[in-house]
Structure 1
Amino acid sequence: MSRILGFKLGAIALLILLLLIPLSMIGGLVGERQYQREAVLQDIARSSSYRQQITGPVLVMPYTKVWQEWKTHAKTGVRYLEEQQYSGRLYFLPERFVLNGQVGTEERARGIYKALLYRSDNQVSGAFKLPARLGLGDDLGLYHFTTPFLAVGISDIRGISNDLQLRLNGTTLSFAPGSGDEHFGAGVHAPLPALDSQGGQVLEFAFDLKLQGTEQLSVTPVGRDSRVELSSAWPHPSFVGEYLPSSREVSAAGFKAQWQTSFFATNLEEALHDCVHKESCDGLAARHFGVSFVDPVDQYLKTERAIKYALLFIGLTFAVFFLFEVLKRMAVHPVQYALVGMSLALFYLLLLSLSEHLSFAKAYAISAAACVSLIGFYVSHVLHSWLRGSAFGVLLAALYGLLFALLSAEDYALLMGSVLVFGVLGCVMVLTRKLDWYGVGKNGAGSPVSSL
């Protein structure tokens, strides 16, 4: 191989490495715009309400336990009875828990950034079945109960948009702010009338909860038998949490999902016990499921993925350019390679800026068309032929089309990328199978080349 060809290949490799500088700067700009977008979304959520998680209802019965205990005087050794008392709470989970929610979505914009908000209209119902003697057995007489209440944990109470009324065994009761129990965080609670301490009582409950939030709505299945149904016109749900829906329907018109769990699957009684007695509430908080309202057009993520393929894309374009130079015995200066490379790098900047105002597909098409047109026009003069420049532009457009296919087919991106690289290598080997590489670079622009 001639020294000239070696210098040319070294210059091309150096140019590819230098182009990593503007590409890294554009990648940093993508991260910066992502950060600004997330800050705006958080600011919108701060002004309205964050993601919501509903935990409850749980029946809470505060009590004071009073008993007498024999003590021995330290000095005299005389035994005597001393009254002891302890304050605590009994917690009862529903025997049946049902939630039906209809969720509507809307966009809130601030500048060029948009946040997706939802409003859910939930009908909550179910029943409590108190155990005999409240599960205390013969010690029931030692307990003195105060006003019981129904606690409902709601992660961001600013999203409550209706006057909550509890319907309990045909009686209407009002909810009060605060869950009434630190283990459930923020929320609401409804004071209840005195309950039959002998147990065996069934309490049928129902209430309507209109809730606003952002990003995600999740529910903790507190019932021995829990059934939750959520439906919405939003066509791009992402089901999250510890349990997937038992059935779901997703279409362009929206989605409908149903969950059904039991105590055997959730082990919620143990999680509640650990939360109350061991101050370990992570297990209770983690036992939830729901839906995340995902925006499928995340232009920053797709632009970031496109930049990851930039080095491969530039390398393939330079390889095509170099083949034109070698096979057509033409001299192309490294500066001309550099200008083409900068045009390829600026494609990603155009894509980023346009995708903030247009859909990603339109932004990609406009950016690709602009770069193909510019590079095709320039290469036509470099190669001294409009036909060659047009052919180069067609090949470049095909590469952009393949890149878009890679970005769209996330699950098959690696496979498609591998096939693309293998195919390009195969084409290069076929086109140069009779090329005299030792003669390339001699006699100026080119050297004797065997007929292809």
Structure 2
Amino acid sequence: MSVFKLGMIALLILLLMIALMMISGLISDRQNQRDGVLEGIARSSSYSQQLSGPILIVPYRKAIHIWKLNAQTQERYQETIEERGRLYFLPERFELDGKVQTEVRSRGIYEARLYHADNHISGHFVLPEHFGLGDDFADYQFDEPFMAVGISDVRGIENALKLDLDGQQLDFVPGTRVPLLGEGVSVALPMETGAQQTQLNFAFDLRLQGTGQLQITPVGKTSSVQLSADWPHPSFIGSYLPAKREVSEQGFSANWQASFFSTNLQEILNRCAADQVCAEFQGRSFGVSFISPVDQYLKSDRSIKYALLFIALTFAGFLLLEVLKGLAVHPVQYALVGAALALFYLLLLSLSEHIGFALAYLLSASACVSLIGFYVCHVLGSVRHGLGFGLALGTLYALLYGLLSAEDYALLMGALLLFGLLVVFMVLTCKLDWYGLAQPASGNVEVSHE
């Protein structure tokens, strides 16, 4: 075996890696195209939803008396200015019971999963005596209070919203009137601004459509959120994991519990109530993602990372057969087998877009193994050697699928595979005279393939 031939094989591997890089770029392009279609579906329906609220807001006007000095007469006089502001109150108790149904929307070969969440929201506010203002209460005048609920994409509201406030039915109107909540709804509250402590019981139903994710901000002093859905692959997201959850093939149910001690929302709200955006307030949320965990593009991209290993092992198998059996394989034959290995990834990508990754992998691997096995039978002039080579290659594809499926153990399985292959190679070549390979062997005859 000449150095020239080894150099040719190395050059073939380099050229095949360039082709594989182009296929990897194609995977990224198809993934970006898919993401663009999903973005278009969400743009024409509704995006991910985040529910923040309800919050009770009491606008106020306060008379502030300032003593000033008249520069000409040197007499003091009192000037009164009016300060405007708002008092913000979070619920003493916040409860949400949501039942979610999912549906698939298609555009071409791409699919997006939408959800419809039927939420029953209830709880109560406890307004302290004198709104917690103490002796300064007499200096305040109060405008009509209102309750605001932040909904990140109001296009997803699917029902007429009515508030049940201590048995009284009130209509919501668009807009929160609270910058940090963003989009949403609000409702005026016909409550008296008396001096006594007041408890307000509220309840309303909200049917909400969205895509991707549903998140809830636990605004209550104590909050309880119960979600159930027909989606069997939930990914729980946000700052808090559910206290209890059950996941089955029919769907999932999950329950979150939170309190002011863990969320610190009242202090955060007081700190940034006047801001247009309060990332800290919005970040105190939790929920569930309805994005499918089976991403054929991600798995195709992961599989192509093992391409160099596949090509190197396949070529090493050819070299081993050349050395042990005294056969000669032309570099062109190496190139054709390498091209078949590279085309496996293109077949896998194109088929997985239509029939799913698992079936696409089975069909692509079977086609490539069959083609290479058939070709090797003729290259080596032996059906037994060709079938053995195809069986070994099929085993490698099976091991690769195991690596792709076992994310947590992929490194361990990959290390054991490489070590096992090294053991086999060393055992088969332990008595081989490597120096003798550099000398022309009279017994080695180039195999003719007609």
TM-score (norm 2): 0.97
Residue 272 of structure 2 is matched in structure 1 by 275
1:176-224 Cα shifts (integer Å, max 9, x gaps) = 0111211210000011103333141000000000000000000000000
Amino acid at match of 2:251: G
Whether the aligned pair in 2 keeps the contact of 1:439 and 1:447 (CA below 8 Å) is no
Residue 86 of structure 1 is matched in structure 2 by 83
| TM-fit CA distance, 1:445 | 7.9
Residue 95 of structure 1 is matched in structure 2 by 92
| TM-fit CA distance, 1:334 | 0.9
Query: Take 1:210 and 1:404, find their aligned partners in 2: how far apart are those partners?
Result: 42
Amino acid at match of 2:53: G
Q: Structure 1 residues 177 and 201 mapped into 2: Cα distance closer, same or farther (>3 Å)?
A: same
Whether the aligned pair in 1 keeps the contact of 2:142 and 2:193 (CA below 8 Å) is no
Amino acid at match of 1:330: L
2:365 paired with 1:368: yes
1:64-101 Cα shifts (integer Å, max 9, x gaps) = 11232211123332110111111111100000000000
Whether the aligned pair in 1 keeps the contact of 2:180 and 2:277 (CA below 8 Å) is no
Residue 343 of structure 1 is matched in structure 2 by 340
Residue 134 of structure 1 is matched in structure 2 by 131
Residue 191 of structure 1 is matched in structure 2 by 188
Correspondence for 1:50 among 21, 42, 47: 47
Residue 413 of structure 2 is matched in structure 1 by 416
| TM-fit CA distance, 1:279 | 5.9
| TM-fit CA distance, 1:52 | 0.2
Residue 384 of structure 1 is matched in structure 2 by 381
The aligned length equals: 445
Amino acid at match of 1:317: T
2:423 paired with 1:437: no
Query: Take 1:210 and 1:324, find their aligned partners in 2: how far apart are those partners?
Result: 67
Query: Take 1:380 and 1:74, find their aligned partners in 2: how far apart are those partners?
Result: 110
Sequence identity of aligned pairs in percent? Answer: 60
Whether the aligned pair in 1 keeps the contact of 2:327 and 2:444 (CA below 8 Å) is no
Whether the aligned pair in 2 keeps the contact of 1:330 and 1:445 (CA below 8 Å) is no
Q: State which drifts further: 129-138 or 194-203.
A: 194-203
Unaligned runs of 5+ in 1: none
Query: Take 1:181 and 1:308, find their aligned partners in 2: how far apart are those partners?
Result: 49
Residue 399 of structure 1 is matched in structure 2 by 396
Residue 13 of structure 1 is matched in structure 2 by 10
Q: Secondary structure at the match of 1:321?
A: helix
| Structure 1 segments (4+ residues) deviating >3 Å | 277-280, 441-448
- Counting only pairs closer than 5 Å after superposition, residues 49-448 of structure 1 correspond to structure 2 as 49-277=46-274, 281-444=278-441
Q: Structure 1 residues 280 and 111 mapped into 2: Cα distance closer, same or farther (>3 Å)?
A: closer
Query: Take 2:330 and 2:292, find their aligned partners in 1: how far apart are those partners?
Result: 46
| TM-fit CA distance, 1:277 | 4.7
1:267-287 Cα shifts (integer Å, max 9, x gaps) = 001111122156661110100
Q: State which drifts further: 312-321 or 103-112.
A: 312-321
Query: Take 1:278 and 1:290, find their aligned partners in 2: how far apart are those partners?
Result: 25
Query: Take 1:36 and 1:411, find their aligned partners in 2: how far apart are those partners?
Result: 29
Amino acid at match of 1:327: L
| TM-fit CA distance, 1:120 | 0.2
Query: Take 1:329 and 1:233, find their aligned partners in 2: how far apart are those partners?
Result: 62
Query: Take 2:411 and 2:71, find their aligned partners in 1: how far apart are those partners?
Result: 79
Unaligned runs of 5+ in 2: 446-450
Whether the aligned pair in 1 keeps the contact of 2:52 and 2:181 (CA below 8 Å) is yes
Query: Take 2:132 and 2:71, find their aligned partners in 1: how far apart are those partners?
Result: 37
1:134-193 Cα shifts (integer Å, max 9, x gaps) = 011111111111111110000000000000000001101000011121121000001110
Query: Take 2:132 and 2:149, find their aligned partners in 1: how far apart are those partners?
Result: 23
Q: Structure 1 residues 199 and 42 mapped into 2: Cα distance closer, same or farther (>3 Å)?
A: farther
TM-score (norm 1): 0.96
Query: Take 2:374 and 2:284, find their aligned partners in 1: how far apart are those partners?
Result: 60
